[in-house]
Amino acid sequence: MRRMPVLPAQNIVVLISGTGSNLAAILQAAERGQWRQRYGAQVVAVISSRADATGLHVARQHGIATALVAHAAFAESSDPRTAFDAALQSEIDRHQPALVVLAGFMRILTSGFVAHYAGRLMNIHPSLLPAFAGLNTHARALAAGCQFAGATVHWVSAEVDAGGILAQAVVPVLPGDTPAQLAARVLLQEHQIYPAAIEKLLQARVALGEQQTPTQWIFQENTIK
């Protein structure tokens, strides 16, 4: 009987602050695509910056370890951002992650934290970067008269929403769109491209070897729906 090769573990840690809809999409894709069997990959922990994040319940329903690192707990520190990032990094590193996935994680990370996870830290942003980095992306796109909006999966860099692009989905702006309506359609595409981008990175790590995976390896997927 031919034995399946033993793959090195590719632990994934997901960071959240809210509902966890992208987390749910990632978990479903991992189960459907048999990431553990094919790539040695699994989501091993979900860490939230908010105690009331409903994404924590999503993780527990899938039997995944959860943790809370609340940014509010560091408000009295001399350097709250650095103290928060240090605590978050300590919690993440317990799981020896191959990838750290930001999925609705609403904190700006320090440059030291980003450097620590170079080539492993990814995010999804609800615009076609480099357009409309930051907040209120859909309202800004509508105000600018854009005919298309979308979402971008990218590496996290020290500059907000400026890392290398991994995947994009393009969504048309419809007549009479409100920011909420546009956001809902973009979110549906986020649920498609984020798991797909993660899976392609996992494939690359298996094919090239963990130590050879380029930190700025970029691919592009454009979908108009």
The residues annotated as belonging to the active site are 125
Q: For residue 186, what are the contacts with CB-CB under 8 A and spacing of at least 6?
A: 126, 138, 149, 150, 151, 169, 171
Instruction: Give me the half-sphere count of Cα atoms (radius 13 Å) on the Cβ side of residue 131.
Output: 19
Q: For residue 191, what are the contacts with CB-CB under 8 A and spacing of at least 6?
A: 21, 22, 25
**Burial class of residue 15, CB neighbours in 10 A (0-12, 13-18, 19+):** buried
